[in-house]
Amino acid sequence: MSTAHTIPAAYRATLGRFTRSTEMTLFAVGTIGFTILAASSHGSLLRGNAVHGILIYLTVPILIGLAQLVVLAVGQMNLSVGTLGGFLAVLIAVLMADHGVPAPIAIAIVLVAGPAIGAVNGLLVVASRINGFIVTLATMTILGGLQYRLAGTRTIDPGSSSLARLGDRSVFNIPVIFLIALVLAAALAFFLRRATAGRRLLASGGNPLAARLSGISNDRSVIVAHALSGLIVAVAAILTVASAPGVNKSIGGDWLLPSFAAPIIGGAALAGGSVSVLGAVLAAFIVRLVDVARAQYSLDPSWVNFTVGAVVLGTVLVGRIRSSRQDRIGRAPDRDSTLRPEPRPDDQAKPLPTAGARSTS
């Protein structure tokens, strides 16, 4: 630790960045929102089973958000998050209920199948050079068909097993499956921040040409990102089976949109290279709060979608207004035209200009 004296400075910089960051805003919004909800519910929201319920249903949104986030990090997108999750969930249930496969083996199979299917997505993108959007649209369709084929019209109950017991277990009234999701989020954040493979992934997303010239294989980054996405989806599928009474063909059908909402509200640039795991987790929490609020005031479930859509549009607009104001204040003669993006409001590949500062993991 010869350079130990510089490390506090680095942490201070990180901390300083955090207080000005999207994450901080999201944290404040989440806290205030929760406080208001708790107060207006006269404290019933703070009771054990209410908290438990909030967290149980937060597990899957966090995971699918992360599954999307990791492909966004390399500048890709994965439309097959929902149907892959649904397919894998049905696969576990069918293996256990119809074929009598013990839970640990079923889980192992899915943990292999998820990344494998994800890697196939990545391979197809790399080999065909076709837009990842269309490739994953195709695999999304295929997996949806496979899920339907496996499940048919029935609802499969995998029966009581070690998996179901996992879903019921809590530590200090915090569901274990939620803790698993948090651990996975922390692991992903660590991977993207500290692992060489994670850094390569972000480098490929941040500037593919520069990454390539530095000897990084962008193709490998794309495949790794899709495989990781598949792995996270597999965990989401397992936890879904663990916590739900049964699974059917509609599981995963409504995952696609929330999977994008969490990382986008959380500050991921759609052009890749800059993502925030913490932001995505906080965003998933906020979306969950909207749902809680809806239940508390017994509103129509449609309010959730409406609010989430409006919030994303609002984030986008506010972020833009803020950055253009900064532009106007700090405008110097343009000497660094190589780094400053062209003022092209119609550009497709522009990163999402959410709040100014953005952490890189």
Partner 1 sequence: MTGHTPAPDDADVGRPRTATDSAPAVPRWAGRWSAGTAQRLGLVLVGAALVVLFGSARASFYDQQLTVFPLLRDIAVFTVVGLSQLATMSIGHMNLAVGRMAAFSAMFMGIAYQQWHLPLYAGLAVGLLAGAAIGALTGWIISATGVNSFVVTLAMDFALLGLVSLTYSQLTTVAAFTAKPAGMDELRGYSMADVCVGNVCGSPAIPQILLFTIVAMLLVGYLYSRTRTGRELLLVGSNSTAARLSGVPVTRRVIGAHALSGMLAGLAGFMLAVTSGSFTAGIGSEFMIPSFLGPVLGGTLLTGGAVSVVGTLLGTSLVQVIRQGLTTLGTGLENLNIYLGVILLLALSTDRIRSVVSARRAVAHP
Partner 2 sequence: MTHPAAHTGPTKPAEPAEPAEPAEPILSADRLAKYFPGVRALDGATLHLRAGSVHALLGENGAGKSTLIKVVTGLYRPDGGRLALDGTPIDFHSPQDAVRAGISVVHQERNVIPEFSVAENITLRRIPSRRGLVDRDRMRAQARRCLDLLDLDLDLDTRVGSLSTAQVQLVEIAKALSTDSKVLLLDEPTSALTLRETDRLLDIVRRLRDQGTAVLLVSHKLEEVFAVCDTVTVLRDGVSVLEGEPIAAYSREDIVGVMVGRAHTAREFAPRTVDPHGPPMLELDALSTASGHCDVSLDVRRGEIVGLYGLVGAGRTELAKALMGLDRVVGGTIRVRGEDVRIRNVGQALNTHRIGYVPENRKEEGLFLDQPLTMNIAVTVWSRIRRSLGYIPARRERELAAEYTERLGIRVSGPSQLVGQLSGGNQQKVSLAKWLAARTEILIIDEPTVGIDVRTKAAFHQLIWQLAADGLAILLITSDLPEMVTLADRVLVMRDHRITGEVPNTHDYASVSQAVIRLIHGTGSGSLPTAAPDPSNPDPACGFEPSNRP
Which residues form the interface with partner 1 (CB under 8 A)?
Answer: 77, 124, 127-131, 133-135, 137-146, 148-149, 152, 257, 260-261, 264, 270-271, 300-310, 312-313, 316-317, 319-320, 342, 344-350, 352-353
Taking a C-beta distance cutoff of 8 angstroms, is the pair 239, 88 a contact?
A: no
Q: Which does 100 bind (CB under 5 to 8 A by kind): partner 2, partner 1, none?
A: none
Contact residue for partner 2 among 32, 39, 210, 295 (CB under 8 A): 210
> Which residues 2-61 are close enough to bind partner 2 by CB under 8 A?
2-3, 6, 9-10, 13
- The amino acid sitting at 360 is T
Give the residue with the Cβ less far from partner 2, 98 or 347: 347
- Minimum CB separation of residue 213 from partner 2 in Å reads 5
Determine if 333 is a binding residue for partner 2 (CB under 8 A).
Answer: yes
Beta bridge partner(s), residue 166:
none
Residue 174 has φ and ψ, to the nearest 5°, of -105, 125
Could you tell me which residues come within 8 angstroms of residue 154 by beta carbon, excluding any fewer than 6 positions away? 248
Could you tell me which residues come within 8 angstroms of residue 196 by beta carbon, excluding any fewer than 6 positions away? none
Q: Which does 353 bind (CB under 5 to 8 A by kind): partner 2, partner 1, none?
A: partner 1
- Minimum CB separation of residue 353 from partner 1 in Å reads 7
- Count of C-beta atoms within a 10 Å radius of residue 250: 12
Which letter does DSSP use for residue 186 in this model? H
Give the residue with the Cβ less far from partner 1, 333 or 345: 345
Q: Which does 313 bind (CB under 5 to 8 A by kind): partner 2, partner 1, none?
A: partner 1
- Minimum CB separation of residue 305 from partner 2 in Å reads 32
DSSP string, 54-110: HHHHHHHHHHHHHHHHHHHTTT---TTHHHHHHHHHHHHHHHHHHH---HHHHHHHH
Taking a C-beta distance cutoff of 8 angstroms, is the pair 74, 221 a contact?
A: yes
Give the residue with the Cβ less far from partner 2, 191 or 285: 191
Element (H, E) at 204: helix 196-206
Of 269, 351, 261, 357, residue with least CA distance to 314: 261
Question: Residue 122 corresponds to which tokens in the numbers above?
Answer: 């990545």
Determine if 335 is a binding residue for partner 2 (CB under 8 A).
Answer: yes
Contact residue for partner 2 among 160, 298, 302, 338 (CB under 8 A): 338
Contact residue for partner 2 among 273, 277, 284, 293 (CB under 8 A): 273
Contacting residues toward partner 2, per CB under 8 A: 1-3, 6, 9-10, 13, 194-197, 199-200, 202-203, 206-207, 209-217, 273-274, 328, 330-339, 358, 360
